[in-house]
Structure formats: C-alpha cells, structure tokens
Structure 1
Amino acid sequence: SLAIMPLGTANDFARACGIPTDPEGAMQLAVSTPPTLIDVGIANGRAFLNMATGGFGTQVTVETSDELKQILGQAAYLVTALTHFDGIRPVRGVFWGPEFLWEGEFLVLAVGNSRAAGGGYQLCPLAYLNDGLLDVRLLPDLPAEEVPNALGLLFGDGLDAVTTVVGATVTKLYVEADEPIQINLDGEPITSNRFQFEILPRRLPMILPPLCPLIGSRG
C-alpha cells in the first residue's frame, strides 16, 4: 500500500484527499487505516495519480519561484500569470475519446484523476479517485481583453468558473497538437505533440482518510 507524507510545497493531492498536513498526523493515518483501491492515470505510458496539466497554466506553475510561493502562498501563481500576460500564446490541438471530440486553440488543459493542482486550484472539481474515469477540462483561446478575467477566475474559484470551459469524462483521451507541448504529470514534465491518456481502474492500494472526499461516485 502507498501512504503519502505531505512534505512538498503545495501538497495538492494530499490536501484534496484530506490527508493531515503535519507529518505526525499523516504517519498516524498511515499506520492505522486500511488501504483503499484507487485509479491510476497513464499518459504516454507514464503513471500519474493527481493530474496532467498543459498550456499556459503549466507555464505559470513552472515559472512561479519557490521564494514567491513562500511569500504569497497560492496568490503567487496569479501574480506570475498576470506578469506573463503578454506571453500567453494558444496552441491548436485535436482532442478525442469515447463520445468526445474537440478541436481548436486552447490555453489550458487539465486531465484529472484528482481535483486540484498548481497550489490548490480546482481544475477538475468533479473528479473521483475510484470511478474509473478521467476528468478533462479545456480552456479555449479567448479574446485578449477577456484573458485577465479568465485568469482571475481560474486562480480564484477554479477552472469551471470560466463559462467557456469545455469538460468531459472519458476512459481514454487522445491529443494531437500542431507543435510540441509540455505536460506536467504530478509536476514531472514530458514534451510531445501527441499524447494518449487512459485510466487503470482501482489499481493502486492507497492509505486515505475514512471520509476522503475523492472516494465516491457520480451517482
């Protein structure tokens, strides 16, 4: 079984699961709780548990310094986004999977097994860890004058607060972009212009709190 010690900078996955943020509490949970089977996401053959992100949101996450995060916390990502506003450039891609097809220019891509990334921002707020599905969110390109408001919503209320967001739940997702793009898998970057995402249902035993909000179903 896998247990998580939340010793990272943001601890997005641990926080979303309700795992105690102090090492002693996390250790107590690990030694006293039976495991729960969770899904595992796969992107181009590499596993991820939390989320795969791409586009401008990934750029912001990579370029936000640890020093700024220590000073401003989650607000550091919004500050970085606004200071890099002039560098926002959409990428054109085709996305398809079972009963899903979308083509166009996009600013942000999120493929979630869990819900939050980039310092706790809700990118896939309806995701569950044990439903055998990946949650997909795409932010299409926007007119320049609408981008600051969209970024404020993204880094405030979450991606679904942006009314133009495209969403889907799939077991597989294929992506072809016009140029290589960087995708972060739980913070680890991979670069390609083609991606294949899939979900392995209930594959990994993990120690989670008894009332973990990410364990459930869509009804």
Structure 2
Amino acid sequence: MRTTLILNQDGGTIRGMDAREFGDMAAAKLSGNGGEATVRLVSGSELVDALKDAAADKDTGTIVAGGGDGTISAAAAACFHSGKTLGVIPLGTMNLYARSLGLPLDPQAAIEALATARQQPLDIATANGRPFIHQFSAGMHARLVRQREKLDTSTRVRKIASTLKTLGRVIMRPPRFAVEIDTGSGPERQVVSAISVSNNLFGDTPLSYAPILDQGVLGIYRSRALSSATVARMALNAAFGKLQDDPDVTSRTAQKVTLRFSDSRSGSKAAIDGEIVSLESEVECVSHAGALQVLVPDTYAGAREK
C-alpha cells in the first residue's frame, strides 16, 4: 500500500527549510522498505482537502502528516474515519502528539524513527462525534486559545510570548460558569473556572500531553471558580509540571462523560485540540480505545513487547 505524505508548508519549522527537498528526502526514506511513498506540499487552507483525498484513495494505506498539532489532529481524524494508519512528522511549535509518541522533535530524526516504526492501535476520543487526540476544554484554556489567536504566533518565540500575554489577561479576569458532569454514576454540578477532557491522562510535565495513549480512558480535569491569585498559583504549578498537585484542581478518569452547560450564553466557546468552536449546551466525550492505527517508534513510553 502507498504511503502518502502531506506536509503543511505553513507549519512553524518547515518555513525555514527547503520544503520540496525535505519532502523528497522523507518520501525516499519511507519507501525504503519496498513500498511506494508520495509527497504533497500544501498550504494550511489546502490541508483538509488534501487529507480527504488521501483518506479516499484506496491505494493509500498510511497518511504521514507533517505540521503542527492542528495538522496532526486533522490527519488523525481523517485516519480514524477511513481506517488508515497515521504517521507524524513534527513541524510545528509545541508538537504535543509527537511528544506523546516519543518521537524525536528534530524533523529529520523523526523521519528516521518513522522508517523503522511499527503500527500500533492507540486511542482517540470524540466530543459530540468530533475526533480529538489531545483535549476538549471550556473556560480558562479555551479563553487563552481564543485570545492568543488574535496575536502573532508565526514563530515559536512569538507563540510563547503571545501565550504569556494572554495568560496575564486570563489571570486578571478568570472565567466562571456552571457545569454538570455525568460519568454514568449520577450528575455532579459545580461552578468552575476551567474544565478539560483529555485523551488519556496528562503527564507531569509543563506541557499538557499524555505520555501513554492506549489506556482507554479520558482524563477529566476541573478547577473550582478561581480568584486571580489562585489562577496565578495554578499557572506556576503548571509551569513546573505540578498541576495535578494543585489543591484547586481535581481529576478523574472515565470512558465516557457528558458535560452540560446550562447557563452558557450564545457565543460561548470551547477548544478542541486548540481549535476554537462554539460551546454546545451538552457535550458527550467518548474514548475510542485502540481505534486509531499509528506508526509508533520504539521510544514510545507505552511500547508493548512484541
């Protein structure tokens, strides 16, 4: 079966590279085991259509996506729906999914790792049917993402600077809203400043990503309604990878959870894998254990013995 590489030329890392030369090198490396590999260079606006074409191509068995986390999330959704295998080349700023897989963050080293990677079923989650590989969130994280979109995030340094700037704004005016959480044992209602549902549990690192992607669970994180001082403390705990030790953050696991936002206003927003979407009054998140085939290197923390 063919391997189709789709490289988002708007990704943060690839802008400083010769994209065609890199794509040809990657295709040559990934066709080294005898299979055919082709490459498409696309802009961000062309990405979704390119992924749809690859997903519909009966001769393509693996889609290798190169770009940032938004690109990888879109590719994962295409592979989940089509049954094709996902490969990842980190060409973005944070590269959270590549970190989850234990892939090298250097693009050329990642290609080398993919050339010897094995196919493994990993988990993917959905929010009202929409796939996500990182998290669905409402409240502080969604507000931070929404406000950051208005600033310059064209490079890693600018993205970090924009994140710090928007974090300051969120600290000064933390959101406050009611949510009903139901994991099947009866609903619980709480006024919170943030709620997130992750695809597997986050690790103890400053960046929010799951180091193991095949536990078949959702991580459900929530904070009570916070003051500016407690948000600042929470941000410091997050920066040192100790968010789960914060007394104002509670976490639990489930395979399915329903969130009800009874007092949400028109125009309220949520974030799914970093993309801002309208917040629906009821959101059902489901873990689909082993439903996504992924090329996994030997350095993946959840690697199983053959």
Please indicate, yes or no, whether the TM-score normalized by the shorter chain is above 0.5: yes
Structure 1 residues 87 and 154: alpha-carbon distance in aligned structure 2, compared to 1, 3 A threshold: same
Structure 2: gaps (5+ residues): 1-84
Partner of residue 179, structure 1: 264
Matches within 5 A, 1:140-179: 140-177=224-261, 178-179=263-264
Q: Which moved more, 1:72-81 or 1:48-57?
A: 72-81
Partner of residue 34, structure 1: 118
**Residue deviations 1:171-201 (CA, integer Å, cap 9, x gap):** 1010011205422221223221210000111
**In angstroms, what is the RMSD of aligned CA positions?**
2.7
Partner of residue 88, structure 2: 4
SS in 1 for 2:188: strand
CA distance in 1, matches of 2:154, 2:87: 29
Residue 109 of structure 1 contacts residue 139 of structure 1 at CA under 8 Å; is this kept in 2? yes
Residue 53 of structure 1 contacts residue 184 of structure 1 at CA under 8 Å; is this kept in 2? yes
Rg larger for: 2
CA distance in 2, matches of 1:116, 1:182: 23
More relative contact order, 1 or 2 (CA 8 Å, 6+ apart): 1
Partner of residue 163, structure 2: 77
CA distance in 2, matches of 1:160, 1:69: 29
Residue 115 of structure 1 contacts residue 122 of structure 1 at CA under 8 Å; is this kept in 2? no
**Residue deviations 1:134-162 (CA, integer Å, cap 9, x gap):** 11111111244323222222344243131
SS in 1 for 2:281: strand
Amino acid at match of 2:283: F
SS in 1 for 2:87: coil
Q: Which moved more, 1:51-60 or 1:145-154?
A: 145-154
Q: Which moved more, 1:98-107 or 1:191-200?
A: 98-107
Identical columns (%): 19
Quick check: 1:209 aligned with 2:297?
yes
CA distance in 2, matches of 1:8, 1:100: 41
Q: How far did residue 215 of structure 1 move?
A: 5.2
Q: How far did residue 86 of structure 1 move?
A: 2.8
Query: Matched residue pairs, number?
Result: 213
Structure 1 residues 114 and 134: alpha-carbon distance in aligned structure 2, compared to 1, 3 A threshold: closer
Q: How far did residue 9 of structure 1 move?
A: 2.2
Q: More strand per residue: 1 or 2?
A: 1
TM-score, with normalisation over the residues of structure 2? 0.62
Residue 130 of structure 1 contacts residue 215 of structure 1 at CA under 8 Å; is this kept in 2? no
**Residue deviations 1:89-137 (CA, integer Å, cap 9, x gap):** 21111011034743211122221115569xx744476x73111111111
CA distance in 2, matches of 1:93, 1:15: 31
TM-score, with normalisation over the residues of structure 1? 0.83
